[in-house]
Amino acid sequence: MEARAINRFIGSSPRKMRLVIDLIRGESVDKAIEILHFSPKHSSKNAERTLRSAVSNLLNKDDTARVEPSDLYVKEAFVDVGPTQKRISPAPMGRAYRIRKRSCHLTIVVAKKA
């Protein structure tokens, strides 16, 4: 049994988010939450919130079965590119520099250990 959580339009670039997500892929949920909670990266807060949502989705999915959070692991975790906001910053001699504010979509799938 597995459940997924998707967090869309996160205001962090996909490249920075992937650094955090690579740390938790394949880990047990308890260890992954611990890694994210004590990570100094800014995007680890969004990743921890999404992971907790995925665990909650799994616990709410089947009320009859007893599922302990310690029996779960991160089956899949990936980051997709979201829309990019384009802005213009003034530059010397009448020029303009383009600023691209990137965003990303985060998907985390948790499953029960076999």
Q: Which listed CATH number (3.40.50.300, 3.90.470.10, 1.25.40.80, 3.90.226.10) goes with 2-112? A: 3.90.470.10
Q: Token pair of 15, please? A: 């490249």
pTM flag (> 0.85): yes
Q: Token pair of 59, please? A: 């616990």
Cα separation of 103 and 80, whole Å?
A: 9
pLDDT confidence band for 21 (50 / 70 / 90): very high
Please name every residue paired with 85 in a beta bridge, in sequence order, or none if there are none.
101
pLDDT confidence band for 22 (50 / 70 / 90): very high
* CA nearest neighbour of 76 among 37, 36, 106, 46: 106
pLDDT of residue 69: 82
Say if strands 85-90 and 104-112 run parallel, antiparallel, or are unpaired: unpaired
State pLDDT tens for residues 33-77. 999 999 999 999 999 999 999 999 999 987 777 888 889 999 999
Q: What are phi and psi of 102, to 5 degrees?
A: -85, 155
